[in-house]
Amino acid sequence: MKILTIGAGVIGATYAWQLHKAGYKLTHLVRGNKLGQYQAQGIQIRCLDLRKPGDAVIEECYHPNFVDDFSTNDDYDYILVSVNSNQLEDLLATLAKKSGGATIVFLQNMRLGDDELINRHLEKARYVIAYPFKAGGGRDGNVIDTVIFGMSLANTVLGEVDGKTTARVKTLHQMLQKAGMNPKIIPDIVPYIRTHYVWAACCVAAYIKAGNYERFNQGESIKESYLAMREGWEICTRQGINPRNVVPTRYYYLPFFLLVPLTQWLYRQKGMREMFEGHIRHSPDEMKDMYFTLLAQAKKYEVPIPVYKDYQKYVEAYFSQAG
């Protein structure tokens, strides 16, 4: 089994590292001007592994084969794509030309409409979609600072766009299972990634308004974030997706007296703070793009989003300071 990973951020490095440890043959695509550096140093990883007793912190050097290009002659079985959502469009033409017979796995956060963008470049028979909810984090200098969650609810969700359970999805499931990344095949992967994007965008905005993790996990902040999400999910409704039929989104319509304490419990789980803070601190361009993409989608579909829009002044102030 030959696997190419595109994307040397937290998700690409973490999943490739775990597959490498599980015995699969990994090659990692990096930018040409950094090829020598990666070949000499590898990728330094510091991982809070919550799957292991004692919440072990593991520090390792992940050192697969590194390349700065690939072709149809490389005969990869799977190509894992884990790039920032705002980098996806530039990559698709290359994948269409060079991926050969490989199954492309989009293992990343996707903006609303990214699945349609992919479909304009690639036939559905060439790719599957996955969401890496098993891991997260950020970068500390040259070190990938990652968390692998131990909760049974933390899955790597995957599926075919048409909802079928194919042989290639089963094989991918087996690979991720062997790597300990808790895969789960679902029939509605597109509704999942679209509704989850709304959840993520609203969480980012709520965190920025709160200013720190403690205030973010207060009841009023959580309630406001869910009100914003429910506005955003109306966009999905206009796209033909019923959020109340999508797991876990359907549970986010529970009464607030149940939903708020459940969310506080979830946010108190080990590793959640590190994931939130890592993403916002180390991927500012992607986080900013996430907020304004949802804003633009609401305008496109003429969905009123007053709660979500109220976050804008906090988001603009935060990213102007960060820039």
Over the stretch 285-300, which tens digit does the pLDDT of each residue have? 888 999 999 999 999 9
**Neighbouring residues of 212: CB distance < 8 A, sequence distance ≥ 6:** none
pLDDT at 277: 84
Mean pLDDT of 206-226: 97
Structure tokens at 104: 């492309």
Mean pLDDT of 53-57: 83
204-215, pLDDT tens digit by residue?
999 999 999 999
233-247, pLDDT tens digit by residue?
999 999 999 999 999
pTM as predicted: 0.93
Stated as kind and residue range, the H or E segment containing 296 is helix 284-300
pLDDT at 113: 87
**Neighbouring residues of 37: CB distance < 8 A, sequence distance ≥ 6:** none
pLDDT at 322: 66
In angstroms, rounded to a whole number, what is the distance separating the alpha carbons of residues 82 and 114? 13
pLDDT at 285: 82
| Residue 323 pLDDT greater than 80, yes or no | no
| Residue 141 pLDDT greater than 90, yes or no | no
Domains of the chain plus CATH, in order, are: 2-187 (3.40.50.720), 191-322 (1.10.1040)
| Residue 109 pLDDT greater than 70, yes or no | yes
The conformation of residue 247, written as its DSSP 8-state character, comes to T
Mean pLDDT estimate for the chain: 93
Place of tokens 């799957």: 51
| Residue 282 pLDDT greater than 80, yes or no | no
Band of residue 220 on the pLDDT scale cut at 50, 70, 90: very high
Mean pLDDT of 65-91: 93
Band of residue 320 on the pLDDT scale cut at 50, 70, 90: confident
pLDDT at 176: 98
